[in-house]
Structure 1
């Protein structure tokens, strides 16, 4: 059962709070049942994924009815929204009508109540159809079964000692794996209350901490902003666990948190197609920049460009491949893309470049397509260089790419945001901490780096940024 309406959960605080709106567990199930009654039998329903209590009610209602739920990014453009609706086959739109939506609209009222009960759908049935970012073409629909979500959330609860006694806090988008699957469905499955802060600001996180928050989710940008706000950071000193994901956590941020409040975030790795597969356990030593070990029910391995095994030596880079209970069923309506995503022996090809050490810990160094740089005969992970660059006192943000070079094959180019950056000083800084062949050959100082809704740098857009 994905969502157990009869599970023992906290009753002294609301089950879910989004901003100033809240519902207890009974009220949430009843409001969701009212949605389920209206959508039962639909081939799929689309949900506008903005940060409102009605979004949670809509998603839970669709899951109760056994109808595939299509979370639509709240920041999507009209054409992207139209593509998702056409491609997913959604028959109904749950939430406030948006431009480009031609479907019948089902209003979602958190105050509505129904005592209707629905049979539990089969574990193999589709729970969510979530769309990729579309960086290599139109966004693809990722078909996620109920059993994958249940397996993932149970494995994370084990890794992070997450129980009903926790109060989860985050302000992440409700249309991504981190914010919706972990951050909403995870709390409901575990039975821990959820405080969604609408926006993940330091002040909002501090207020939630004072209200009893114990488990905090964020991306590196969130934790960086927390460290820049000492009063808010001190309020988090009573938290049990901080979790960071979606990008590597800078050493400086981890050290600042650890020194100031005695807490450094655990890191985790996942993608839409696999959910979360790797995570540092709550009781493990902190290793900044390393995303931990494979979760229960998940296996991982590294392979080279020609399928060769990559040694688990903590240095050699290869493509991360995954198999296990959390992996998706395929791309909606795209059998060729689905087949291309798997190896002949049944492992999903993540496309991410990683290193693995003898203890089973993983470090993600970027995408194979954009972050594996072949320079002077060496295979270099951009993420390793970026981590060092972010430790330079003048650098706030860094993105490293490989650009065509007649001599080296590719030369290492660093795009940096900061004040008082001197190119040669930065180059020497990297050369003094990594092998000399990993130093940038060119430094470009820019006003900002292009990012998506989850804070990930969009490297293919770097050529368009202002210098």
Structure 2
């Protein structure tokens, strides 16, 4: 059963779900979600405008109980994106709130409705969610995610993080991605613990969640960087059991600052919409700054270059491939894109380049398209240069890219946010820490780096 805590005879838990100031007990959650399931039974695909509300949680839980595929829609979607996601997914209606000017009908989610009707568990291989992931070109691609994949992925993380019904998870992440929705909402429901969604992931809100008893916190690096600069809020997290970062690389200085302020070493993990979480540091293991850990239970990884296996020596940089029970099996209506990314025997080519150490620890260098720089005959990972630059006191944010160069093939350029110093100082700073050929050839100072909703730098907009 995907959500074992959603059965009518599950033990009640006061404030099982808290979203902002709205509270649901376990009894209210089960009753309202089951009532929603009764209302939508017989539908095949419904869209949910995934705002951070109790109604969103009830809509998604109700869809899972009924065995109806749910399509979480980002609330800030542009008109063209919205039309594409609705038509591509085959959504029949909105479940809950609908955006203005929609052509689809809306089925209400009744917050105070109650039902204790028993619903049979849908087939494990049925599609629970269709999440849309944006690529570098074209419209977002739909990723059908089965009930089995979600269950396997969450159980593997429960093993890695010692995640139990005794935990209260707090975060303020969007509810239309793997991080905020599958890990951040379905995780607590599957484990049987509590969820506190802070609506906005501010340091003050995280401190308030800590005072309310949160034992686990999820955040993207931008959130943790802000927490690190608010010492009072950071220190409030000291009693927590686990701090987890994902969706983008965590800068080493932020790891260090959080450790100094809270006593916690942040758990980093790695995953994608297509794969859920496949690699993570463990609650009972080493947490090495800049490294995302070991394959979780059931996952295999490979490192390749031009189809050839690379050694796990901590230095060789290659394409990362993953295989495991939590992976999706393809893109919706995209057979060519599916064939490009998935092999016949289940390996998924992530598009990321990585390093694997002799101990199995993984370090993500970045996206092949933007973070693997070929300069002067050398293969260089942008991430290691960024890590060094972030250690300079004048640098608060940085993105390193390769730009076309007639002599070198690609020239290393660093886009820097911070207090300006001589460019040569930063260039020499890198040359002292890394090989000389890895130094930036150019520093470009900017007011801010372009980021998406999950805090990932959009390097395609630089250069």
Shorter chain as normaliser: what TM range? over 0.9
Q: Is the 8 A contact 1:10 1:164 kept in 2?
A: no
Unaligned segments of structure 2, at least 5 residues = none
Q: What is the TM-score of this pair, normalised by structure 2?
A: 0.97
**Bigger shift: 153-162 or 22-31?**
22-31
Match of 1:353, SS? strand
| Preserved CA contact (<8 Å) 1:167 1:192 | yes
1:135 and 1:48 map into 2 onto residues whose CA distance is 24
Any conservation in 1 of the 2:8–2:118 contact (CA below 8 Å)? no
- Determine whether 1:342 maps to 2:348: no
Tell me the residue number matched to 2:314. Answer: 314
1:450 aligns with 2:440: no
Q: Deviations over 1:256-297 (max 9, x none)?
A: 221222112110000000000000001112201110000001
Structure 2 partner of 1:56: 57
1:362 corresponds to:
362
C-alpha spacing 1:349/1:162, structure 2 compared with 1 (3 Å)? same
- Residue 412 of structure 1 corresponds to 412
Shift of 1:134: 3.6
Match of 2:267 in 1: 266
Q: Provide closer, same or farther for how the CA distance between residues 82 and 188 of structure 1 changes in structure 2, counting only shifts above 3 A.
A: same
* Matches of 2:259 and 2:281, distance apart in 1: 16
How many residues are treated as equivalent by the alignment? 462
> Counterpart of 1:401?
401
Q: Which residue of 2 aligns with 1:46?
A: 47
1:40 CA displacement: 1.4
Pair 1:235–1:103, CA change in 2 (3 A):
same
Residue 102 of structure 1: CA displacement?
1.3
TM-superposed CA distance for 1:11, in Å, is 4.3
1:61-140 to structure 2, matched below 5 A, reads 61-140=62-141
Secondary structure at the aligned position of 2:114 is classed as: coil
What stretches of structure 1 of length at least 5 have no aligned partner? none
Partners of 1:375 and 1:411 within 8 A in 2:
yes
Instruction: Say which SS state the counterpart of residue 322 (structure 2) adopts.
Output: strand
- The alpha-carbon deviation at position 222 of structure 1 amounts to 0.8
Q: In the aligned structure 2, how far is the partner of 1:80 from the partner of 1:342?
A: 25
Q: Secondary structure of the equivalent of 2:462?
A: helix
Q: CA RMSD in A?
A: 1.4
* Native 8 Å contact 1:145 1:329 kept in 2: no
Structure 1 stretch 11-20 or stretch 243-252: which is displaced more? 11-20
Between the aligned partners of 2:201 and 2:11, the Cα distance in structure 1 is: 24
Cα distance in 1, alignment partners of residues 181 and 362 from structure 2: 24
- 1:9 is displaced (CA, Å) by 7.0
Q: How does 1:70-219 map to 2 (within 5 A)?
A: 70-219=71-220
For the structure 1 residues 11 and 209, does the alpha-carbon distance in structure 2 shift closer, same or farther, using more than 3 Å as the test? Answer: farther
Partner of 2:21: 20
Distance 1:335 1:353 in 2: 24
Given the superposition, is the C-alpha separation of residues 44 and 344 from structure 1 closer, same or farther in structure 2, using an over 3 Å criterion? closer
Q: What is the deviation of 1:422?
A: 2.4
Shift of 1:345: 4.6
